[in-house]
């Protein structure tokens, strides 16, 4: 009997399912704590529990999904990246993830014809200057997707001078938009070490268990790819976890239409199923504050998860995330630390992340000194700040945020998961630590703790409801801004006494993720919708990982050159000139080239038994477009 194993390694839990390939049914499921100090330990534990005594030779496929890339971007992790912009200079209002930026002359026109030669000397000078100051390099050229020659040449220059990771804009997206492609490239370099460590740990886990099945990873559009491909372009897994959730929710619910809400530890992700398929984004999707060119399911991801830190702002208003924390319930806090919470009036703690090493090269002397103040044991955050001030380190909050961003420390603090322990709806961890943490914030608000916990849970559920509403509004009005929008605030307040406002959702809510059964029934009620409780909802991501397919979609642009009676054909990785006079002949040639390219991409990604689907946009105003989708089953070789 042949089996497949699906594993989802999230920032909080690692889930696994054992899937009977012949009967197409789930045999075993499990959920264990993600082990950040050594990711392979959590993967080992999860795989061992679902496989049991099954012969490893009977495992013919292993598929992985993860929210790690998404979480690292939302939380701002990662070091500076060297960004070389070819033929264009960012404007003052164009923000980037933390990076060093340099302009290099050299550009193409929309047809991919060179307007200005590449200044190779300038590129080499910047690389030499930055190579020891950045974690890797990103290259984004003006109309680089229409002709990647300059980007490829700069890649060669970088490779000659350093072994650090390199990515170019056209590697990641065939779409126009040099700014968004540059942001995407920078983010890709930032998440390389995180995803590579994840994949290496998983491979190690499989080898030690005698499992030699191919290892596949879920990409942001819900399709699968070989792990080797993903290591080069990890940004394409940025929505791996929620994409797998949408695929898993469809399989588990057997519903063609619905809103899938995946509540993870760090994020809440919303996707829409229509006619049995998750909707795909027309353009790149947003992760946190960054608009990318990553081809993905049309998902809305927000730093609002079960492990989002709960705080009060200066006005005493509740704030959820985007910073995450280990819930107090699972923090293994000593009685001594809990006894001193009242002394400091602070129930948040700081500890060094175990197993991440101590590469402090990115820190200033003051930041190193602050880091060493934490010691080897967990420390109360307010106590840490007091000690820092005594040592003359007056920027303690800044230092702490930077250490968190670099993954050197983490917080243990009150989260929505803790509230469930206080209310009694979830009691897997300690109940005493969450109670103490709730008491601290309840006193600040002048409320009774149990009532405070219930109100905070209600507020959290409302925030999730608003994320669903935003998702549908943005489908119709992509540029809509909610922050500072008085009409949005009016609607959130349900109008006035004379005019009520209520949101009504026409789709059922399908919940996945461990807390889904606790939080989402009220979310569905807030939206006037039905809540579908599906079996194995708590491991929906892992189900999606094991039931996915290897698929690639490419767009081939055909542009007429009337002055030469030729046509230009733009493929994802190159451009071709076709010497024909008839547009239909040119479009047919584009179909042929597109089929070959899409099929090759599926094979390179680990697919076989490929089916092709082709559609065309009408040739109009001198241009046409061919869309080719290739879908294959995972190869067992």
Question: pLDDT tens digits, residue range 136-166?
Answer: 999 999 888 888 889 999 999 999 999 888 9
Q: Which residue's entry shows tokens 């461990």?
A: 514
563 occurs within a structural domain: yes
**SS3 (DSSP) at 6:** strand
- The pLDDT assigned to 154 comes to 93
Range among 66-75, 275-284, 467-476 with highest mean pLDDT value: 467-476
Question: Which of 447, 479, 497 lies at the terminal end of a domain, its last residue?
Answer: 447
Within 515-598, strands assigned E span: 531-532, 550-561, 566-570, 575-578
| Residue 148: how many other CB atoms lie within 10 Å | 23
How many structural domains does the chain have?
3
**204 — pLDDT class (breaks 50, 70, 90):** confident
The Cα 373–Cα 308 span in angstroms is 25
Q: Which residue's entry shows tokens 């940025």?
A: 238
Q: How far is CA 98 from the centre of its chain?
A: 18
**75 — pLDDT class (breaks 50, 70, 90):** low
What tokens appear for 486 in the block?
A: 């008085």
| Least confident window among 12-16, 369-373, 408-412 | 12-16
384 occurs within a structural domain: yes
- The pLDDT assigned to 526 comes to 95
- The pLDDT assigned to 355 comes to 61
473 occurs within a structural domain: no
Give the tens place of pLDDT for each residue, 81-126: 999 999 988 888 888 888 888 899 999 988 888 899 999 999 999 9
Within 13 Å and on the Cβ side, how many CA atoms surround 547? Answer: 24
Task: Note whether 437 and 554 are same-domain residues.
Answer: no
**SS3 (DSSP) at 553:** strand
Task: Note whether 432 and 563 are same-domain residues.
Answer: no
| Residue 254: how many other CB atoms lie within 10 Å | 8
Span 2-18, average pLDDT: 88
- The pLDDT assigned to 200 comes to 85
Using DSSP bridges, classify how beta strands 59-66 and 215-218 pair: parallel, antiparallel or unpaired: parallel
Question: Which of 136, 163, 190 lies at the terminal end of a domain, its last residue?
Answer: 190
Task: Note whether 442 and 555 are same-domain residues.
Answer: no
Q: Which residue's entry shows tokens 């819900």?
A: 222
Please state, in angstroms and as integers, the Cα–Cα distance from residue 509 to each residue in 335, 369, 381, 534, following that order. Answer: 41, 49, 39, 11
Question: Which of 158, 173, 190 lies at the terminal end of a domain, its last residue?
Answer: 190
Asked whether 237 and 220 are in contact (CB, 8 A), the reply is: yes
**459 — pLDDT class (breaks 50, 70, 90):** very high
Domain that residue 381 falls in: 308-447
**356 — pLDDT class (breaks 50, 70, 90):** low
Asked whether 561 and 567 are in contact (CB, 8 A), the reply is: yes
What is the CA angle 339-340-342, rounded to 5? 95
In sequence order, which residues have a C-beta less than 8 Å from that of residue 542 and are 6 or more positions away? 6, 7, 8, 15, 16, 17, 29, 65, 244, 248
Please state, in angstroms and as integers, the Cα–Cα distance from residue 393 to each residue in 341, 367, 381, 399, 401, following that order. Answer: 23, 9, 14, 9, 14
Span 469-498, average pLDDT: 88
The Cα 17–Cα 423 span in angstroms is 30
593 occurs within a structural domain: yes
Arithmetic mean of pLDDT over the chain: 88
Buried b (16+ CB within 10 A) or exposed e, 362-401: ebeebbeebbebbeeebbbbbbbbebbeeeebeebeebbe
| Least confident window among 17-26, 463-472, 550-559 | 550-559
403 occurs within a structural domain: yes
Using DSSP bridges, classify how beta strands 575-578 and 277-278 pair: parallel, antiparallel or unpaired: unpaired
Asked whether 571 and 559 are in contact (CB, 8 A), the reply is: no
Q: Which residue's entry shows tokens 């700014």?
A: 179
Range among 43-52, 382-391, 469-478, 578-587 with highest mean pLDDT value: 382-391
pLDDT above 90 as % of the chain: 39
- The pLDDT assigned to 357 comes to 61
| Least confident window among 6-10, 348-352, 576-580 | 576-580
Q: DSSP assignment of 404-472, as one string?
A: HHTTSEEEEE--HHHHHHHHTS--SS-SHHHHHHHHHHHHHHT--HHHHHHHHHHHHHHHHHHHHHHHH
Whether pLDDT at 402 is above 70: yes
50 occurs within a structural domain: no
H-type alpha helices, 317-390: 335-339, 341-344, 365-373, 381-390
Q: CA Rg, the chain, in Å?
A: 25
Task: Note whether 443 and 312 are same-domain residues.
Answer: yes
Within 313-377, strands assigned E span: 318-324, 326-327, 349-352
**Strands of 409-413's sheet in order across:** 326-327, 409-413, 349-352, 379-380
- The pLDDT assigned to 37 comes to 67
228 occurs within a structural domain: no
H-type alpha helices, 209-302: 227-232, 240-253
Q: Count Cβ atoms within 10 A of the Cβ of residue 275 and give its class: 0-12 exposed, 13-18 middle, 19 or more buried.
A: exposed
Range among 10-24, 317-331, 409-423 with highest mean pLDDT value: 409-423
The total number of residues shown for the chain amounts to: 637
Asked whether 542 and 42 are in contact (CB, 8 A), the reply is: no
- The pLDDT assigned to 500 comes to 87
In sequence order, which residues have a C-beta less than 8 Å from that of residue 408 and are 6 or more positions away? 352, 353, 356, 358, 360, 371
The Cα 413–Cα 408 span in angstroms is 17
Give the tens place of pLDDT for each residue, 424-458: 888 888 999 999 999 999 998 889 998 999 999 99
The Cα 512–Cα 385 span in angstroms is 39
Give the tens place of pLDDT for each residue, 508-560: 999 998 888 999 999 999 999 999 989 999 899 899 999 888 888 888 888 88
Asked whether 263 and 301 are in contact (CB, 8 A), the reply is: no
**SS3 (DSSP) at 358:** coil
Note the pTM of the prediction, 2 decimals.
Answer: 0.76
Give the tens place of pLDDT for each residue, 551-585: 888 888 888 887 777 888 888 877 888 887 788 88
Whether pLDDT at 192 is above 80: yes
What angle, 0 to 180 degrees and rounded to 10, lies between the N-to-C axes of helices 416-423 and 432-445? 100
Question: What are the two backbone dihedrals, phi and then psi, of residue 474, each rounded to the nearest 5 degrees?
Answer: -70, -25
What angle, 0 to 180 degrees and rounded to 10, lies between the N-to-C axes of helices 516-526 and 449-476? 60
234 occurs within a structural domain: no
Q: Which residue's entry shows tokens 């490929």?
A: 610
In sequence order, which residues have a C-beta less than 8 Å from that of residue 613 and are 6 or more positions away? 628, 629, 631
């Amino acid at each position: 009997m042949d089996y497949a194993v699906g594993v989802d390694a999230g920032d909080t839990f690692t889930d696994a399912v054992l899937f009977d390939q012949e009967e197409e049914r789930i045999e075993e499921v499990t959920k264990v704590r993600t082990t950040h100090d050594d990711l392979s330990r959590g993967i080992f534990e999860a795989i061992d529990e679902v496989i049991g005594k099954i012969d490893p030779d009977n495992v013919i496929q292993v598929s992985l999904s993860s929210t790690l890339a998404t979480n690292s971007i939302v939380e701002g992790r990662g070091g500076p990246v060297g960004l070389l912009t070819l033929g264009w200079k960012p404007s003052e209002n164009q923000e980037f993830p933390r990076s060093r930026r340099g302009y290099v002359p050299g550009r193409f026109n929309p047809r991919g014809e060179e307007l200005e030669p590449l200044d190779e000397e300038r590129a080499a000078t910047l690389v030499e200057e930055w190579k020891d100051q950045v974690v890797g390099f990103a290259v984004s050229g003006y109309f680089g997707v229409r002709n990647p020659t300059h980007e490829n040449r700069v890649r060669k220059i970088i490779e000659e001078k350093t072994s650090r990771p390199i990515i170019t804009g056209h590697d990641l997206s065939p779409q126009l938009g040099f700014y968004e492609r540059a942001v995407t490239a920078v983010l890709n370099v930032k998440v390389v070490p995180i995803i590579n460590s994840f994949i290496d740990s998983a491979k190690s886990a499989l080898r030690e268990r005698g499992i030699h099945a191919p290892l596949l990873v879920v990409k942001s559009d819900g399709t699968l790819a070989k792990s080797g491909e993903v290591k080069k372009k990890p940004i394409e897994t940025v929505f791996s976890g929620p994409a797998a959730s949408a695929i898993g929710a469809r399989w588990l619910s057997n519903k063609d239409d619905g809103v899938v809400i995946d509540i993870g530890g760090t994020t809440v992700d919303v996707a829409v199923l229509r006619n049995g398929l998750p909707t795909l984004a027309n353009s790149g999707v947003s992760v946190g504050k960054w608009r990318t060119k990553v081809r993905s399911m049309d998902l809305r991801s927000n730093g609002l998860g079960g492990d989002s830190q709960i705080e009060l702002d200066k006005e005493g208003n509740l704030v959820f995330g985007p910073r995450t924390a280990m819930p107090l319930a699972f923090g293994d806090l000593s009685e001594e630390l809990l006894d001193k919470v009242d002394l400091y009036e602070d129930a948040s703690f700081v500890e060094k992340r175990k197993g991440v090493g101590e590469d402090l090269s990115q820190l200033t002397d003051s930041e190193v000194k602050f880091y060493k103040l934490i010691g080897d044991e967990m420390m109360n955050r307010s106590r840490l700040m007091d000690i820092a001030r005594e040592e003359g380190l007056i920027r303690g909050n800044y230092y702490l945020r930077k250490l968190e961003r670099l993954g050197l420390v983490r917080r243990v603090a009150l989260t929505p998961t803790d509230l469930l322990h206080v209310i009694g709806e979830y009691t897997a961890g300690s109940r005493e630590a969450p109670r103490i943490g709730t008491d601290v914030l309840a006193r600040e608000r002048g409320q009774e703790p149990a009532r405070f916990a219930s109100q905070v849970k209600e507020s959290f559920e409302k925030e999730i409801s608003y994320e669903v509403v935003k998702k549908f509004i943005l489908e119709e009005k992509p540029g809509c801004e909610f922050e500072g929008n008085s009409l949005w605030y009016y609607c959130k307040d349900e109008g006035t006494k004379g005019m009520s406002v209520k949101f009504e959702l026409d789709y059922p809510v399908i919940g996945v993720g461990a807390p889904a059964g606790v939080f989402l029934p009220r979310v569905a009620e807030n939206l006037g919708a039905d809540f579908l409780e599906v079996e194995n909802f708590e491991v929906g991501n892992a189900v999606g990982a094991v039931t996915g397919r290897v698929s690639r979609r490419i767009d081939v642009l055909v542009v007429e050159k009337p002055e030469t009676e030729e046509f230009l054909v733009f493929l994802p990785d190159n451009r071709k000139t076709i010497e024909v006079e008839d547009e239909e002949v040119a479009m047919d040639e584009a179909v042929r080239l597109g089929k070959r390219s899409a099929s090759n991409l599926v094979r390179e990604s680990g697919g076989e038994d490929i089916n092709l689907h082709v559609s065309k946009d009408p040739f109009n105003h001198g241009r046409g477009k061919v869309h080719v989708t290739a879908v294959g089953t995972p190869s067992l070789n």
